[in-house]
Amino acid sequence: MPAYKAPLRDMKFLLNEVFDYPKHYASLNHGENATPDIVDAILNECAKFCEEVLSPLNQSGDEEGCKLENGEVITPKGFKEAYQQYTMGGWQSLSAPEEYGGQGLPASMGLFKQEMMGTANWSFSMYPGLSLGAMNTIYLHGNEQQKQDYMPPLTEGRWGGTMCLTEPQCGTDLGQVKTRAEPDGKGSYKITGTKIFISSGEHDLTENIVHIVLARLPDAPKGTRGISLFIVPKFLPDGNGGVGERNHVSCGSLEKKMGIKASATCVMNFDEATGYLIGPEHKGLECMFTFMNSARIGTAIQGVGPAELSYQGALAYARERRSMRALSGKKEPDQVADALIHHADVRRMLLTQKAIAEGGRAMLYYAARLADHMVEGHMDDDQKKADAYDDKLGFLTPILKGFLTELGNEAAYLGMQVFGGHGYIREHGMEQIARDTRIATLYEGTTGIQALDLLGRKVLMMTQGGAVREFSLRVANYARKHLTDRRIRPFAIELLKLTAQWNILTVKVMLAARKDRDVVSSAANDFLMFSGYVTMAYMWLRQAVTAADKLDNGGADSMEFYRTKIETAEFYYERMLPRAQTHASSMLSSPKNLMQTDPENLSFID
C-alpha cells in the first residue's frame, strides 16, 4: 500500500494563491479565527495525523475487516485507538458551532481535513464523516432540546451518527419507503422497519450511535411527500449528556463487500424503536437533503483522494521499476533498462492521474467557498443568502459527485496499470485503492442519478437552463480577462468556445425533451460528463493563470512547481478535454437507439 503523503504544497497553492482563502475567511462574519497561521497549523497537524496514524491502518484494516459478534460490530485492530486520537485532537469539532462545543471554524476547514483523512484511510474516515452529516441535519432542523441532547456529544465525537434511507425494496426511489412511525402518546414515536447499506450503523468506536431515519406516519400521503424524518438513538439520552437505556435498534448483519471493508456497512433493524420527529411532518426528504448534499460533496472527495493516493504509488513505482529502453534512446545507460517513467505511455497514465487529482481538488476547494457562505447564511438566519449559495452549490454538487468519482475510478485503474501484474497483487495496495473507490459512483446516488438531478432537475425543471447560463457566464468572463497572455491564450480561447457550446447543447436538449421525455434520461450522463470536463478546464485555467503570474513575480524556489502546473494544464487541455466532444455528440443522439429494441429481445440465450 502506498504510504500517504499529504500534498500540502498543492493544497496551499489552491488555498493561498488560486482562491485567496485568507481574504475569503476575513470576509466571513464567523471567519475571524481562521487566520493564515491557524489554518497552516491545522493543515500541518492534520497531515501528520493522517500520515502517521491513519495511513498505516489502511491496508491492515482492509485485510482484517469488521466482525459482527453477538450483535456488536468490532472494528479492525488499531481503529479504536486511532479514533481516540482523532477525538482528543479536536478534529470532529473543527467546524461545529461554538454554542455546542465546536471550534466554530468555517465549513471548508472540515472539507480540507476530510480530504486528507479520506485519502489516507477512506474506511476510517467514514465513521466520523457520517456523524458530521447527522450533526448538520440536527443543527438545521432539530428543535432546541434536540440540539442540546445530541449536538454536544456528537461534536465531541463521543457519539456517532448515521443516515438510514435505503430499504431492501428501494434505494434511490425513496417513495417506496415502508418503515413505519407510530405515535406512542408520549411525544415520541415507535419506529419499525429494516434499513440496508447503513454505513457506520453499528461499531465500537463511540458510546452511542444516533440514526437519522426516514419513515412514514400512519396518515402519510403516498410517495416522497409522505416521508418524515426521525432521530433514533442506539441508547436513549439520559438528559445529562450521557446514555440511558438501550433502544430497540440492532444490527442484523454486515454486508460482504468488494471494498472499504474496514467500514461497517450494516443491515439495521428497528423493532418499535423510540424515535423523535425532526423537522415538520411529511417533510423528511427535504430535511434529509441537508444530509445527502453534505454526503455527496464528501463522496466527491473519494474521486480526488484515490486519484492522489494511486498517483503517489504509481509515480514512485514508475521511478524505480525498469523495463526496456525508451524509444527516443537510452535514458539510464548505466542501468540494465530505463525506468518506466521515461516511456511516453506511462507518462500519459501518470499525467492523467495528476490532472484528475489536482483538477478535482481545485473543483472541491472552489465549491467549499460557496459552502462557507451558505453555512454562514444559516448561522445568521439570513435565509436569502443561504438559499442563494445553496442554489450555486446545488448546481455543482452532482457534477462534483458524479464526474469526480467516475474519474477517480479511472485514476485508480491507471495506477494498477502502471504497476502491471504487480498492480493486481494485494501486497502493493493498488488493487485495494481500485476496490475501495468503486463504491463512490454508486452510493449517495449513482452517476446516473446525479446526471438526472443535474439535467432534469437543476437545469431543465428548476431553472430552464438558467443554472448553466449563470455559471458559464462566470467562467467565460474569467477566460476573457486572460486572452492577452500568450501562455494562457490557448486555454482561454478553448474555454470560451466550450462555455458557448455548453449553452447551445442545453437549449438543444431542452427543445428535444419537449418532444420526447426519454431525451432527458438518454442525454443526462453525457451532459454531466461534458459539464465536468468544462468545469475542470475552468479550474486548470485558474491554476495556470496563477502559476504564470508567479513565474513572473514569484520566488525562485517554486519555479519548477509553477512550470509543472502550466505543463499539466496543457496536458489536460490537449489530451483530456477533447473527450468532452464525444459526450457532446452522444447527448444529442436520439433515444431511439436506446429504446427501440424490445426488452424481451435483448437476449436470445436459450
CB 104 within 8 A of CB 98: yes
For residues 448 and 437, give the distance between their C-alpha atoms in angstroms, rounded to a whole number: 17
The CA-CA-CA angle for residues 380, 384, 390, to 5°, reads 90
Residue type, 149: D
Give the SS3 label for residue 290: helix
The percent helix, strand, coil of the chain (3-state, each to 5) is 60, 10, 25
Helices and strands counted in the chain (H then E): 19, 11
Q: Where are the beta strands (DSSP E) in 150-216?
A: 159-164, 180-183, 189-199, 208-215
CB 129 within 8 A of CB 161: no
The pLDDT value recorded for residue 345 is 97
The pLDDT value recorded for residue 398 is 95
For residues 184 and 450, give the distance between their C-alpha atoms in angstroms, rounded to a whole number: 38
Q: Which stretches in the chain have pLDDT values below 50?
A: none
Residue type, 317: Y
CB 200 within 8 A of CB 130: yes
For residues 416 and 310, give the distance between their C-alpha atoms in angstroms, rounded to a whole number: 8
In sequence order, what are the residues at sequence separation of 6 or more whose Cβ sits closer than 8 angstroms to the Cβ of residue 450? Answer: 296, 398, 399, 401, 402, 528
For residues 124 and 477, give the distance between their C-alpha atoms in angstroms, rounded to a whole number: 41
Cell of 539: 479550474
Residue type, 18: V
- Using H for helix, E for strand and C for coil, what is the string for 391-460? HHHHHHHHHHHHHHHHHHHHHHHHHHHHHHHHHHCHHHCHHHHHHHHHHHHCCCCCHHHHHHHHHHHHHH
The pLDDT value recorded for residue 296 is 75
Q: Is the dihedral of CA 241, 244, 249, 252 positive or negative?
A: positive
For residues 213, 66, 310, 307, the Cα torsion angle rounded to the nearest 10 degrees is 0
Q: Is the dihedral of CA 56, 61, 62, 63 positive or negative?
A: positive
For residues 539 and 490, give the distance between their C-alpha atoms in angstroms, rounded to a whole number: 15
The pLDDT value recorded for residue 554 is 73
The pLDDT value recorded for residue 286 is 83
Grid cell 463487500 in the structure block, residue: 257
Grid cell 489554518 in the structure block, residue: 39
- pLDDT, tens digit (0-9, with 9 covering 90-100), for 467-506: 999 999 999 999 999 999 999 999 999 999 999 999 999 9
The pLDDT value recorded for residue 240 is 86
CB 233 within 8 A of CB 211: yes
For residues 399 and 363, give the distance between their C-alpha atoms in angstroms, rounded to a whole number: 10
CB 401 within 8 A of CB 444: yes
Grid cell 423537522 in the structure block, residue: 279
Active-site annotation, residues: 444
The pLDDT value recorded for residue 606 is 63
Backbone angles phi, psi at 470, to 5 degrees: -65, -50
The pLDDT value recorded for residue 201 is 97
